[in-house]
Amino acid sequence: MRYEKIANDLFIGNRTRFVAEMKQNTIAILTSNDVKHNNADDVMGFAQNNDLFYLSGIDQEETILILYPEAFKKENREILFIRETNEHIKIWDGEKLTKDQATEVSGVTRVEWLQDFEKVLQLMAFEADGFYLGHNEHIKRVTKDQETQQDRMISWCKEKYPLHEYHRAAKITRKLRPVKSNEEIALIQRAADIGVDSFKRVLKACKPNMREFELEAELTYNMVRSGGSHHAFLPIVASGKNACALHYNTNDSICKDGDMILMDFGVCYANYNSDTTRCIPVNGKFSKRQKEVYASVLHCLKEGSKLLQVGTFPEDYEKEMARLVGTELIRLGLLDAAEVANQNPEKPLYKKYFMHGTAHYLGLDVHDVGLYSRPFEEGMVLTCEPGIYIPEEGIGCRLEDDYLITSTGNINLTKAMPIEIDDIEQLMNN
């Protein structure tokens, strides 16, 4: 592991909260993600199923966790199944977890080899009335047309045990995961801190006529040397008009003198993520118009983030953010106040220059699980990311920070990342 050891108290506590939500006399089965292949014999980087990681801390493929809190035998209440290693695997792929190591990581006392899963499960399955199975229930899921290990487990269980009741493990984790423990907050903060240092490298490196991917390389270098496992998502380094494409990430254009660069990037540390956006002038000095647009977006960030507090509903927050941006668009001369006053509320005019939401849950997923019908609560971590995009002027500006909601307001976890115009210019020119 690249990250420092996580105390297994975190995962023990997560399992305790999870089983408290399970229906009586049921078994939960959580599986790891598949290793995805690309061409020939190469594979993509492994990414663990975040529900499994949340409950076990195991960051290894071919892993299954069984939870049966009402099992008659105590040793059957938590069982972890991992891949048995051998000399061939050691030579080609390196060491895998031993049973003792898996217990140390997870806090699960009973660890078995994966090949014994079916036999062990059958010894207790008929005592239970139902199963909790995992599935990717995220509203933006990308696995809908791809069979996963979770899909195969669902099919196998229903074929093997057709008369049992079936329940959704994701419904429980979606309830639990948005509220972060102190340990989780510390891991998100670590990811954020790595992002802060990475951004400062970019400020020192940026010069006219560089390619966008050269600045991406600065982010990547610092992330890797600081223990980040990978980018939280494909980083966006978008100069000039490229910044008006919300998910631009080819990062291959030349950063021209006089343009502004939008950088949306995050760090994954111990499977927890940060997500930040900053805009900087290629030549170290914002133009008058760039300053105007930037100041408007920064104003919306500062005012809108105040609404990230206990009891606020996401819908109310987004409405207020839209109002803030709309006001700034009028001030910038992009919208007419009279036309806005008489606009069709179903087709608000601000959407020409501002077309996305500005808050999402953050944690094990960058767009972390959670219901947007649920008011904000203490312990939740959310982004705030207003933006204004003016294609006809070649200016796209978005600013984003990560906030922890507390009982007395919120804490900006990325406050150390320079954001004021004067601070950015000073750092770029010293």
Cα 272 from Cα 103, distance rounded (Å): 21
Backbone angles phi, psi at 166, to 5 degrees: -125, 140
Structural contact between residues 400 and 381, judged by C-beta atoms closer than 8 angstroms: no
**Site of tokens 């008659």:** 72
Identify any residues that bridge with 272 across adjacent strands, giving them in sequence order.
269
Q: Which residues of 173-185 are buried (b: 16+ CB within 10 A; e: fewer)?
A: bbbbbbbbeebbb
* Cβ neighbours around 105 below 10 Å, total: 21
Comparing C-alpha atoms, which of 288, 275, 317 is closest to residue 401?
Answer: 275
Structural contact between residues 265 and 276, judged by C-beta atoms closer than 8 angstroms: yes
User: Which pLDDT score, from 0 to 100, does residue 1 have?
Assistant: 80
DSSP state of 33: P
* Model pLDDT for residues 165-188, shown as the tens digit of each residue: 999 999 999 999 999 999 999 999
User: Which pLDDT score, from 0 to 100, does residue 44 have?
Assistant: 78
Would you put residue 198 in left (φ > 0), alpha (ψ -120 to 50) or beta? alpha
- In the chain, what's the furthest Cα-to-Cα distance? 75
Cα 109 from Cα 87, distance rounded (Å): 25
Cα 366 from Cα 236, distance rounded (Å): 14
- Token pair, residue 238, equals 């978008």
In the three-class reduction of DSSP (H, G, I as helix; E, B as strand; rest coil), residue 66 is classed as strand
Work out the percent of the chain whose per-residue pLDDT is above 90. 90
Written as one string, the DSSP assignment of 347-399 is: S-GGGGT--S----B-SSSSS----TTSPP-TTBEEEE--EEEEGGGTEEEE-
- Token pair, residue 61, equals 């493929």
DSSP state of 122: H
Query: Which domains, ranges and CATH numbers included, belong to the chain?
Result: 9-176 (3.40.350.10), 182-428 (3.90.230.10)
User: Which pLDDT score, from 0 to 100, does residue 85 have?
Assistant: 84
Cα 137 from Cα 169, distance rounded (Å): 10
Secondary element (H or E) of residue 132: strand 130-133
Residues with Cβ within 8 Å of residue 171, at least 6 apart in sequence: 137
Structural contact between residues 65 and 55, judged by C-beta atoms closer than 8 angstroms: yes
- Token pair, residue 301, equals 């960030």
Structural contact between residues 395 and 260, judged by C-beta atoms closer than 8 angstroms: yes
Residue 305 CB burial class (10 angstroms; 0-12, 13-18, ≥19): buried
Instruction: Name residues of the chain where pLDDT drops below 70.
Output: 140-145
Identify any residues that bridge with 67 across adjacent strands, giving them in sequence order.
28, 78
Structural contact between residues 131 and 164, judged by C-beta atoms closer than 8 angstroms: yes
User: Which pLDDT score, from 0 to 100, does residue 141 have?
Assistant: 64
**Site of tokens 């061939």:** 88
* Cβ neighbours around 106 below 10 Å, total: 24
Would you put residue 143 in left (φ > 0), alpha (ψ -120 to 50) or beta? alpha
Comparing C-alpha atoms, which of 103, 96, 98, 97 is closest to residue 80?
Answer: 103
Comparing C-alpha atoms, which of 241, 269, 258 is closest to residue 393?
Answer: 241
Structural contact between residues 200 and 221, judged by C-beta atoms closer than 8 angstroms: no
User: Which pLDDT score, from 0 to 100, does residue 142 have?
Assistant: 61
User: Which pLDDT score, from 0 to 100, does residue 170 have?
Assistant: 96
Comparing C-alpha atoms, which of 231, 243, 236, 341 is closest to residue 297?
Answer: 243
